[in-house]
Structure 1
Amino acid sequence: MKQPKIAEWTELRGLAFLAIVMQHNIAEYIYRADIAQPDAVMLTMIYHLTRFGTPTFVFLSGVLLFYHHRHAKPNYVRFIRKRFGDIYMPFIIWTLIYWLAVRVFTPAFWSSGMPDLGSFIRELFLPQTAYHLWFVLMVFQFYILFPLFLTGAHAVRKRLESNRSDHLSPKQITLAIIFSAAIVYILLMKWSYYDMSGWTDLLSEPWSSLLEYRSYSWIMYWFYFLLGAVCAWAVEGWRSWTAKALPWTITVFIVMYIWLGYDVLRGSEDTMNLNISTYLKPSTFIIIMAQMLMFYGLLALSRDRDLRFRRLLAWIGRYSFGGYLVHALVIYVIAYFTRPLHLSGWHLPITILSFAVTVVTALGISRGLSKLPGSRFTVGLSRIRNKSKESHTLSGTQTHIKRQASHSG
């Protein structure tokens, strides 16, 4: 049976998409040599409002996978084949588009005879030109391993249902598991940020390379996927809990927002170093969790209200995957015109304007491609058919059937 649609998941995906587009626009302008300090500080402040974006996509991937397969184990071959078409094929196509887009405008590409196909192959494993597509590679690892995660989730759930402890309820045990997992994950983030960079010099290949590119691995994001499983199995409980926790999540967010801003200002010199707030850092993990739970709680509180803002977020969320794939190309095009300009004192407004243009253009392209044949392989959406035409055809068919029935009667 088809599962009921959970509106806030699509809306949260829309918010995450907006956050990621803003991050990448900030990264385009904050490192320019002519940026004034007030603009750099303001862009850093905005940047720390967007840290929840990518981990929220991981959380939502877990939510949707576990939600739709809670009661039945999927056929693995069919499952992977579908995800390969919906996710990995768009990755390959857009990797090729970015690879060509950067090279066709250089004379060396045309004078070299044969293009360097080796660099394209490398892009399929370590995206550089399409820098944002690392996320597709990383999240696809969760899809490959999902049957194992689902088996583990069913085992834990079965154990909870059979638990007859007088001391702890299944809900309390679940919270204890989440809290324990969070502690383990914070330790992993501590090792990643403070220790692992030194380990690469002590290890041989391929282990040193695996550590160097650890941000491409699902291991660094598993906690968000775990939370997705918890949310998928207890949607109403999750809504209630995030709404009740709003005073705490808002407080934690404000405290960590101030701390992360101070941390970057303290660690930067002439240029703001946004890498100080990397995803793989304990303090960043805390603000991400506070933001994600805060936004979920706010959406849960307003879910019975028909708000234009929520409808807009739902529309953005629907086309967000295609918009994510194309948005960096839009930023490249805008940067082609802005990089030669002297923008001292204007980096903040130009970044905001670039963000708005990127969002509108990327979503417009995503929606346009969704109407074309093969849209599944370009934006991960099945082709949107003309509803009025389908309705007219159905009406005509029904009229024809009625006429045949009256004649036969």
Structure 2
Amino acid sequence: MGKPRIEEWTQLRALAFLAIVMQHSIAEYIYRADIEQVDSIMLTMVYHLTRFGTPTFVFLSAVLLFYNYDGKMNYYQFIRKRLRDVYVPFLCWTVIYWLYVHVFSPSFWQKGGQDWGTLLRELLIPQNGYQLWFINMIMQFYIFFPVFAAVYRSVNGKLQSLHERTRSRSVFAIIACTGIGYFALLYLSYHQMGSWAEALGRPWSDLLEYRSYSFLMYGFYFVIGAVCAANIGKWRTWCTKLLPWSGLVFLGMYIRLGSDVLRGSGEVVNLNISTYLKPATFIIIMAQMLLLYGLLIMMQGRNKIFLRLLSWIGRYSFGGYLVHALIIYVIANFTRPLALGGNHLRFALLTFMLTVAASLGISYMLSRTPGAGWIVGAKKRSQQRKTTEESDNRSESRVFLIANNR
């Protein structure tokens, strides 16, 4: 018997997936030469509502692993499952995106098909399937997870022997110390490491240039994932109690980030000003993540149709994540020749809706085909498994445990 599952994680993953698709839909339109200033500002405002997307995927990846592997683990079986369910789909989709961008373009054949070497680069630094960088980053975490799991078990074991108030204070101290250290790392990354990369020779300059691909640059989200996994009841209580404060912090940082981007951009908006590795972006991400988690807890048992929709989206979000950039490419083939005038915001929203529907539909269909695990990281579930999950879901509101094992 596996651990009981609670839909809030699946629902949070759905929101993160929707946020990422919105980001990429906006990026397709906000840099076009004919965009009007009003649309640029509106798209920037919408963009800063979505910054929690990828870090939330990191958080969920960590919390699922720490929750499900809180005891001894077989490393061979563990890494084999991650390679099969995560890395193999990455390889398949890397080839698909490369074929779409290179082989199906006239320039590839004009060069005599000599661009095959770029495929190897795509496996290391994905550009065609631009969202696939996340897979390479999270695989680093999987490789070193046994070390993190051992530390987690050791620290958690010591915390469990403490009095409840002392244990809570100790957890807050861990969060505060790691948060301060992470904030300092982001400050150096955003303000200093660029100049360091210019001064240093290879390979150090390359490591600094592509530092956003390193799992270390997302370390704090792994830490709070471990904190959540250790005591879901406390985590839920904290998120609900912090709702007013997380909402206020999010609102303040939302205004701050929008102002920074608009002030720092020229004629064309530069969304890279609010990169994930900017300290201010880290604050808004944490505030929004806690805000959304708390709201999901408050909504459990209410708005059942909406929550069921989120659960369904979250269930097929990994496959949707893999395919969604291809859908945006296809839509762009029709929209890029058009003179959109003042309709960039409308087209961005339309692209978002079409991409969500198409990518989830493709993920759903592929998940029900033989060999689905090699393509979208999901196996076709039997009716018995579905019945078991439905039974688990009905009992979720009566327990303070969580799980979500893909």
| TM-score after normalising by structure 2 | 0.92
Residue 300 in structure 1 maps to residue 332 in structure 2: no
> CA separation in 1, counterparts of 2:261 and 2:269?
7
Residue 104 in structure 1 maps to residue 103 in structure 2: yes
SS of 2:198's partner is coil
> CA separation in 2, counterparts of 1:335 and 1:230?
42
Question: 1:118 corresponds to which residue?
Answer: 117
The amino acid that maps onto 1:209 is: D
The amino acid that maps onto 1:23 is: Q
Question: 1:345 corresponds to which residue?
Answer: 342
SS of 1:74's partner is coil
Residue 78 in structure 1 maps to residue 77 in structure 2: yes
Could you give the per-residue CA deviations for residues 378-406 of structure 1, whole angstroms, max 9, x where no partner exists? 11101244679x9xxxxxxxxxxxxxxxx
Aligned ranges 1:8-407 → 2 under 5 Å: 8-70=8-70, 72-110=71-109, 112-163=111-162, 169-305=166-302, 307-385=304-382
The answer to whether the Cα contact below 8 Å between 1:371 and 1:385 also exists between their aligned partners in 2 is no
Question: 1:402 corresponds to which residue?
Answer: none
> How far 1:203 sits from its partner (Å)?
1.4
SS of 2:212's partner is helix
Runs of 4+ in 1 over 4 A off after TM superposition: 111-115, 385-388
> How far 1:306 sits from its partner (Å)?
5.2
Return 5+ residue gaps in structure 1 as ranges. Answer: 391-409
> CA separation in 2, counterparts of 1:272 and 1:258?
16
How many residues get paired? 388
SS of 1:39's partner is helix
The answer to whether the Cα contact below 8 Å between 2:156 and 2:230 also exists between their aligned partners in 1 is no
The amino acid that maps onto 1:280 is: L
> How far 1:292 sits from its partner (Å)?
0.3
> CA separation in 2, counterparts of 1:298 and 1:89?
35
Give 1 or 2 for the bigger CA radius of gyration: 1
Could you give the per-residue CA deviations for residues 216-271 of structure 1, whole angstroms, max 9, x where no partner exists? 00010010011111101111111111001000000000000011111111101101
Return 5+ residue gaps in structure 2 as ranges. Answer: 388-406
The amino acid that maps onto 2:207 is: L
Identity across matched positions, percent? 58
SS of 1:200's partner is helix
The answer to whether the Cα contact below 8 Å between 1:73 and 1:147 also exists between their aligned partners in 2 is no
> How far 1:31 sits from its partner (Å)?
0.3
377-386 or 283-292: which moved more? 377-386
Structure with the bigger RCO (C-alpha within 8 Å, sep 6+) is 2
The amino acid that maps onto 2:185 is: L
The amino acid that maps onto 1:224 is: Y
The answer to whether the Cα contact below 8 Å between 1:322 and 1:363 also exists between their aligned partners in 2 is yes
> How far 1:348 sits from its partner (Å)?
0.4
> How far 1:303 sits from its partner (Å)?
1.5
The amino acid that maps onto 2:22 is: M
| TM-score after normalising by structure 1 | 0.92
> CA separation in 2, counterparts of 1:356 and 1:17?
12
> CA separation in 2, counterparts of 1:264 and 1:174?
35
> How far 1:274 sits from its partner (Å)?
0.4
SS of 1:169's partner is helix
> CA separation in 2, counterparts of 1:259 and 1:380?
38
> How far 1:164 sits from its partner (Å)?
6.9
The verdict on how the C-alpha distance between 1:120 and 1:171 changes in structure 2, with shifts beyond 3 A counting, is same
The amino acid that maps onto 2:296 is: L
Cα RMSD of the aligned pairs, angstroms, is 1.9
> CA separation in 1, counterparts of 2:63 and 2:86?
17
139-148 or 113-122: which moved more? 113-122
